[in-house]
Amino acid sequence: MDRAQIIALLQRDMEGEHQAIIQYLYHAYTMGREDLAPEIEAIARDEMRHFDWLADLIVELGGEPSLKRDPVDFSRAAPAEQMGKDVGLEETAIAQYRAHIEAIEDEHVRLVLSRILHDEQAHKGIFEGLVEAAGQGEAVEAGAGAPSAPAGPPARLMEILNQGVRHEYTVILQYLYHSFVAEDMELAEGLQNAAINEMQHMGWLSEEVAGKGAQPDMSHTELFLSRDPVQNLEADIAVEREVTKAYSTQLPEIEEEDVRALVERIRDHEIFHDGEFSYLLKEVREAQEAASPEEDKPQPPPEIPSVGSLLGKP
């Protein structure tokens, strides 16, 4: 199997991990079981690590990390049924990783895929336990009578929150990609830290949407993807400033004090990201200037000779 074929298999694996991240987070946010959500979110974090490892392998092999995702099941169902879907997703992943390990000869790639496979097998067992736990919880709820349905959420509030969900999902992918292709370790770490913070934001906003009986909109808008660190950081700064302005404009429209406080907290985080990215951009530009050959650097204008020098006088 040649390098291009290995990259294609790893890209497929990335798309499966992306699917799992979003499906598991969606289930954690929407199924209304606070006792189960932390375990599901922990598994989603494992899948995020897998997503990162696969991207690193692809870049090392000279390929392009894939930000596509396999189809996510966004349908609503009882918690036990949702956990059953996640068992099925893990079974699919286990079969795919086994097939890819069998097909790929590169020992380092096989090692990483084997490590991921071990996690997926553990995840399957955890989800099987959650199916049972969710079923027991549903039996207790049935005995206590059905809960009353929440009142319909305000349409404008849902529009604001879901605009935030879409933005946060978009920048998660954009910052992760920029970190995958960054050659400077400090830059890659700074971008990944920002992406992790944006994941928190997406979770907070999605939980607010789901808690009010609406559907979190886990779709992303256009991404800026390049291999140029300066262009990437300029795009990241621009998007942070744009969303800071949007959140600031929306705050007076939010009547619920706790939701307004949440959006204000997220807005303040975005201001911090702007400052961090601006600092990283300054460092990248300085490093590029220091590394560029002397002939590529702008030369000072020639000195205008004095009248005395032209006459051969000191």
Residue 301 lies in a domain: no
Which of 147, 174, 207 represents a domain boundary (last residue)? 147
* Structural domains counted in the chain: 2
Q: Which of 140-144, 287-291, 304-308 has the highest mean pLDDT?
A: 287-291
- Higher-pLDDT residue of 249, 152: 249
Give 32-80 pLDDT, tens digit per residue: 888 899 999 999 999 999 999 999 999 999 999 999 999 999 998 999 9
Give 153-199 pLDDT, tens digit per residue: 789 999 999 999 999 999 999 999 999 999 999 999 999 999 999 99
Q: Give the relative orientation of helices 107-144 and 3-30 as an angle to the nearest 10 degrees.
A: 20
Q: Give the relative orientation of helices 3-30 and 79-103 as an angle to the nearest 10 degrees.
A: 170
Which of 132, 147, 162 represents a domain boundary (last residue)? 147
Same domain flag for 14 and 107: yes
- Is the confidence at residue 310, as pLDDT, over 80? no
CATH no. for residue 235? 1.20.1260.10
Residue 269 lies in a domain: yes
Calculate the average pLDDT of the chain.
90
Residue 314 lies in a domain: no
- Is the confidence at residue 297, as pLDDT, over 60? no
Range of the domain at 212: 148-292
Give the pLDDT of residue 110: 96
Give the pLDDT of residue 314: 42
Same domain flag for 142 and 160: no
Same domain flag for 109 and 126: yes
